[in-house]
Amino acid sequence: MFLVCCSIFVVSSAVFIWCKIQNANEGNQIQNVEVAATPTIDDRELESFPLHHESLIAQATQVQYGTRPDLKKILLECKGSDIGVLACGPRKMRHEVAKICSLGSAQNLHFESISFNW
DSSP codes, 49-118: SSSTHHHHHHHH-----SS---HHHHHHT--SSSEEEEE-S-HHHHHHHHHHHTSTT-TTEEEEE-----
* Amino acid letter for position 82: D
What is the number of other CB atoms lying within 10 angstroms of the CB of residue 83? 13
Mean pLDDT of the chain: 77
Say how far apart CA 74 and CA 93 lie, in whole Å.
Answer: 14
pLDDT band for 11, please (50, 70, 90 cuts). Answer: very high
pLDDT digits (tens, 9 = 90+) for 33-89: 554 455 565 566 655 656 555 666 677 677 778 887 888 888 888 888 888 888 888
